[in-house]
Amino acid sequence: MVGVEKAKNLYWRMYSIGSMLGPYLMLDESEHSELNNLLPDIEGVLSDINIERDGRLFRAPSPWHAAICLSVLVHISTSVKGDYMKVNDHLGIPTKKTRIIFRGQSDSKWDLVAKINRNSIDKDKETQAVKVFCAILKSFYDLTDLNIKVPEIAFIAAAQHYGLATNLLDFTADPSVAVYFAATGQKTYDEQEAVVFALPLDYAIQRGVEIIFPPPFIERLYVQKGLFVSHQDNLRESCLEFRFPLSREFTVIREGKGVCLLLKDPWLEGVTSFSKNCAESGKTLPTEERGATEFYYEVYKQLGIPRYLRRSYAPKELAKWIDYVSDMLYWLVFVKVNNQMGVDEEVMDFIVRANPGLTEVLIQIYELLADINEGEGLINLAQGRRKLAKLFQASLSRTRST
């Protein structure tokens, strides 16, 4: 066995080489050599993984073993002949070329069931809290004066992320993030195993799953590479499972540094509490104009307006969302062909079909920021953003014609 300490050190070393663009490492010649020197240790870690249930269940001795194994899985699923990481096929890692998304849970006994469908949930109160949450976000987003129409499903995704019960499940494109949330969860019994569920996107497409992107201005989700899955049934049978012991020592490493995944946003936390209190007290959203004005004025008095929603800051903050979406394209959609980046149109259309309203917002913001970039003399950046806008527009046209 490699051992936990060696796996921990190897995980840190792997994520200290080069810089990442989605799942792709950008390496110079010396970094290529450094990574190649790690391959024997990587294979040693992989040999510690026990494979069960016809290759669908992987048991790792530590979260660092699991993170390394999942990193190799992502690489194999996105790589082409001649890429940097070459691991032996006999190690049993699935080699199918399909993108994968991940969900971490601190107890492997829990199924993949949306929070709103759990027995302990008061559906009426939770549904009302989500309605209030979405209405507040819409009203405040309108104050940015950017004329962007964020669809309700994106606000529901934000409500899900901040603890309200919806029919969505939190997933991530980054397996290390899923390992973190599984490994650092609450331990309630001695035999408890954490688990990361790996959902291949080809299965998701076949089963009619929808992948929902978050709205702008939710920076914590950008750091977590977060997205959401909407599906009525238990998805467990469609996933690979990676189980391992819990450990609060696990940290996500990017470019040699630990990453804080739980950035604080007092305003969104306040919106969540306000929405819950409304639901608990039986308070409903007013429908008449005067009542609505008084309601939102009360919200404003209690919570104020966050900096990122103020008119002078909003365009710059929207650029962070654009960077997040661009990064997600590398995780989920972009493919390497002859050292050039191309697009998997099936996956692109799969994502756009579930997010048509948000795609329209995205195209609008790409164009808006491209105009700003041109005014600042950043011509290459402007051209790149217009190119991405055209990719989304083409996909939106394809999905609307079918």
Please indicate, yes or no, whether residues 205 and 235 belong to a single structural domain of this protein: yes
Q: Encode pLDDT of 55-92 as tens digits.
A: 789 999 999 999 999 998 888 777 654 454 555 554 55
Please indicate, yes or no, whether residues 73 and 110 belong to a single structural domain of this protein: yes
In the block, residue with structure tokens 């799942």 = 23
Q: Which long-range contacts (CB under 8 A, 24 or more apart) does 233-237 make?
A: 233/207, 234/111, 234/112, 234/113, 235/112, 235/169, 235/197, 235/199, 235/207, 235/209, 236/111, 236/112, 236/197
Q: What pLDDT is attached to residue 78?
A: 75
Please indicate, yes or no, whether residues 344 and 382 belong to a single structural domain of this protein: yes
Please indicate, yes or no, whether residues 100 and 171 belong to a single structural domain of this protein: yes
pLDDT at 137 over 90: yes
Please indicate, yes or no, whether residues 180 and 244 belong to a single structural domain of this protein: yes
Please indicate, yes or no, whether residues 52 and 103 belong to a single structural domain of this protein: yes
* pTM metric for this prediction: 0.93
Please state, in angstroms and rounded to a whole number, the distance separating the CA atoms of residues 72 and 89: 11
Range of the domain at 384: 311-402
Domain end (from 258, 275, 292): 258
In the block, residue with structure tokens 């039986």 = 282
Please indicate, yes or no, whether residues 75 and 44 belong to a single structural domain of this protein: yes
Please give the share of the chain, as a percent, with pLDDT higher than 90. Answer: 60
Average pLDDT over residues 354-382: 92
CB contact at 8 A, 362 and 319 = no
Q: Which band of pLDDT confidence, cut at 50, 70 and 90, is reported for residue 395?
A: very high
CB contact at 8 A, 169 and 64 = no
Please indicate, yes or no, whether residues 336 and 289 belong to a single structural domain of this protein: no
Please state, in angstroms and rounded to a whole number, the distance separating the CA atoms of residues 152 and 131: 9
CA distances from 38 to 8, 42, 93 (A): 13, 6, 18
Q: What pLDDT is attached to residue 84?
A: 47
84-98, 207-221, 280-294, range with greatest mean pLDDT: 207-221
Question: Is the Cα dihedral 276, 277, 278, 281 positive or negative?
Answer: positive
Please state, in angstroms and rounded to a whole number, the distance separating the CA atoms of residues 319 and 324: 9
Q: What pLDDT is attached to residue 90?
A: 43
Q: What pLDDT is attached to residue 262?
A: 95
Average pLDDT, the chain: 89
Please indicate, yes or no, whether residues 105 and 207 belong to a single structural domain of this protein: yes
Average pLDDT over residues 93-99: 67
In the block, residue with structure tokens 């799953």 = 209
Q: What pLDDT is attached to residue 60?
A: 96
Please indicate, yes or no, whether residues 79 and 203 belong to a single structural domain of this protein: yes
Q: Encode pLDDT of 169-203 as tens digits.
A: 999 999 999 999 999 999 999 999 999 999 999 88
| Total H helices, total E strands in the chain | 14, 14
Please indicate, yes or no, whether residues 139 and 174 belong to a single structural domain of this protein: no
Domain end (from 249, 281, 305): 305
Please indicate, yes or no, whether residues 236 and 105 belong to a single structural domain of this protein: yes
Number of domains, the chain:
3
